[in-house]
Every structure is written in C-alpha cells, then in structure tokens.
Amino acid sequence: MVNAVIVFFSFTLLINYEVAFADYDSREDFLNAGRWRIAFGMQWNQHVPALHYESLTDRSKPTLDINQDDISEIVEPFSYVDVERRLTKYSGLDLTYTKDRTSSVLLGRKNVRFLFFLLRPTVMAPVDIDVETMRLRYFHAIVRSGNFEFGGSGGLQALYYNAHASIPVIGYSEENYFIVLPCLGTYATYQQNKCIRYSVHADYLPIELKKFSGRIAEVDCSVEYNINSNLFAGAGCRYSVKSLDLEQKKYRMNASYSIFGGLAFFGISL
C-alpha cells in the first residue's frame, strides 16, 4: 500500500515538468466528437473482505465467517481497462472494467452430534475471492469554466462475485453471485496546462429494498500526462466499498468488500 502511494505522488511531481516532444497545442483534440480513448492499467490494492452467514431455520447447517480484520495487499496486473467515446465536447460514454482478487481465511462452524454430545467444531480454510465489475456510464458536463469541468454521470454496472473454499467437512465449496444495478455519480476535471489533467470521479448507490439493504460506493482520482496527441500515461488512487445485508426466511447474510489502493495506466487516443 505504501508503494502505491509513493508511485502516485512521484508521478504527480514528475509530470509537472513538460517534455519537449509534446506535439499539440491544446486539449481541444481530446474533446472532439468521435474521439476514442483506450487505457490499460495495473493496481496495487489493499483488500478487506468480511462475511457472516447463518441459517435461521436449520441449525445443522454451517455458519460461515470471514474476519474483517484480515487485510491483504495484492498487485494485480492488467486488472483495469477503460474505453471512452466522446459524443460531443460536453458529453460521452465511458466503459470501465476492473478485476479485484484477494485471499483470506474462511471460518466454518457446524453442529455435530457425537454419542450423547452436541459439538460445534470450527474449521478454517483459505478462501479465494474474485470480484469483477463492468460499468457503462453516460457523462455530461454541467459546469465548464476555463480549465475546470464539473458534471454528472449515470448508467449500469454489472457485478460478478466468486468465492471458492474447500471445506468438505461442513459441505461448503463455492459461491457465485451476479447482479446488475444502476450507477449514479459526479466527476470533475482540471486541465493544468496543455499536457496535464487531474480528474476525480465518484459513484454512490444506496440499496434499500424489502429484504436486503447495502451500498456501493467508489471514488477514483488520477493525474494524467499527455505524451502527445495520441499517447498518454497516468497514475491514481481508488477507494471502493460494496456491502450487502440480506435477510431471508431461511438465512441471514452480511457481506462487505472494501478496497483502497493505487493505479498506473497507459493509453492511446484515436
């Protein structure tokens, strides 16, 4: 995590010195309608998964837990892809894919009868968690003043969650979830000069339904250096949290997944 912060701030200081091979005069080239921007990146993320699952009707079924204090830091290459299409100087479409992966320890407890005794042994096993997010957003500028731009965005996000842990003693191996939800957010950009741009994008979605509640929030900030009219590179920080509290007739589940880390990317404009 410390390495990610050092990379981000080092890059911020470095790009404030313009290089001689920048071959364009303004940001206008990047605001032309029909312009494509494609970026690929890698992440240094700190992951904090948490889970509690218990049956409300059958006490013979296992109770599952992941310790919230179990924090892991993972370098994930090629885990970030962003494709942007400018529709006008004020609006566009943005498609972002992120893949987050971590390993933790799953605790399983289950009631077991032995002779005249009722035992509740605890079994521990490593668990691998993968969370993939695909987000399609339409963004539009609300305020543009000089080099500053502020706007809003809206769209859809698809979440795929997979957890795998082999605990045959209590009969658990794998869980998969796929869900599509709306996403709403705001963004702001500041063009310091013809080469350097700072940007912040925040999404937030509270979930309040009859049987479950939760929230999905993400904040991304980055600094970007335009090498020339076609190539750019950048670094940034990302915070993301996904939480869900679900209570059905048969079971109760509380789950959350928090991420904080750095991002480095390289891209091309067409």
CATH code: domain of residue 74: 2.40.128
How many structural domains is the chain composed of?
1
| 65-92 pLDDT, tens digit each | 886 566 777 888 889 999 999 999 889 9
Cα(188)–Cα(148) distance, rounded to whole angstroms?
A: 7
Condensed to tens digits (0 to 9), the pLDDT of residues 168-202 reads 655 666 778 888 989 999 999 998 887 899 999 99
The mean pLDDT of 200-205, rounded to a whole number, is: 94
DSSP secondary structure, 65-100, as one string: EE-TT--EEEEEEEEEEEEEEESSSSEEEEEEEEEE
In the predicted structure, residue 123 carries a pLDDT above the cut 80? no
Per the structure, the complete domain to which residue 124 belongs is given by 2-269
Span 235-261, average pLDDT: 88
* pLDDT, greater one: 106 or 24: 106
Encoded tokens for 206: 């509270």
Percent of the residues in the chain that have a pLDDT greater than 70, as a whole number: 79
Closest CA relative to residue 257, chosen from 239, 241, 237: 241
User: Is the separation of the CB atoms in 97 and 84 below 8 Å?
Assistant: no
pLDDT band for position 15 (50/70/90)? very low
